[in-house]
Amino acid sequence: MSTVKMKWALITGASSGIGRAFAQELASKKFNIVLVSRNQSELKLLSMDLEKKYNIKTYIISKDLSLLTSSQEIYTELNQEGIDVDWLINNAGFAIYGKYHLTDIKANQEQMILNMVSLASMTQLFLKPMISRGEGVIINVGSTASYQPVPYMAIYGASKSFVRSFSEALWAEYKDSGVQFLTLNPGPVETKFFERVNASEASVGKRDTPENTVKTAMKALEKKQISIISGPHSNFILSNLGRFLPQSVLVSITEKVMRPRT
């Protein structure tokens, strides 16, 4: 009697926010879930909840993706466990707010590694076996910050521009391979992201929910879209202002919006 092999989805930044919402959504569709985050205690609680509620398997990896070695370590561990990743959701990321010369250089380096280097490495490592199998899904979480430079969060905006450009290039490169790429570009979302940023100026506009953000991504996947801006329609409008304004005007407006108020 044949059995259907359940697919595995790997989600980074899975302990809260958008990552957690992806875990809930995919578990409800009977995916087994690899949960990756630094917060092992939160991962354990989420793991128990998913297994009990949806009768699926989970696998926990407590790893800091702001370290250069982490991506390879995750890939090697899963290979040793015999887990083939069918869906990869590169969701982990963070931002630092403030005048650039006053921010911490080590934290800025970690931000670049996490937001860009680890995302690109995870994509490359897990893409190869997907190509061999002729199927797979990779969702890279960008931001509406990718559509213009972001004063006081210069590295974050630039890193998300990298994510969008990188992911859209791969969408075209592999569109006939059976592997589907999607860039998800949320505006402000009600997550712990803003706790770490610790600046109200960084949250512009109405915050969406993680659950709605994930549902938007799933609908975009069904339509085989290259990328999607989630949240209120105002996110789409603001993200496309650069098409109509000179860059100096656009960045000056953004600077006034993002300028520290204290």
CA nearest 19: which of 204, 213, 203? Answer: 213
Tell me the fold of 8-258: Rossmann fold (3.40.50)
pLDDT cut 90: percent of the chain above it: 76
174 annotated active-site = no
pLDDT tens digits, one per residue of 152-201: 999 999 999 999 999 999 999 999 999 999 999 999 887 666 566 555 55
Q: Which of 75, 97, 147, 156 is catalytic?
A: 156
Confidence class for position 23, pLDDT limits 50, 70, 90? very high
Q: Vertex 37, ends 217 and 120: CA angle to 5°?
A: 60
Q: Residue 257: its pLDDT value, please?
A: 83
Are the C-beta atoms of residues 72 and 121 closer than 8 Å to each other?
yes
Q: What value does the mean pLDDT take over residues 230-236?
A: 75
CA distance 87 to 58: 14
CA distance 41 to 218: 28
How far apart, in Å, are the Cα atoms of 195 and each of 25, 53, 80, 259?
Answer: 24, 29, 36, 18
pTM, entire model: 0.90
pLDDT tens digits, one per residue of 44-69: 999 999 999 999 999 999 999 999 99
What are the extents of the domains in the chain? 8-258
pLDDT tens digits, one per residue of 236-260: 777 776 677 787 887 777 778 888 8
> Is the predicted pLDDT of residue 4 greater than 70, yes or no?
no
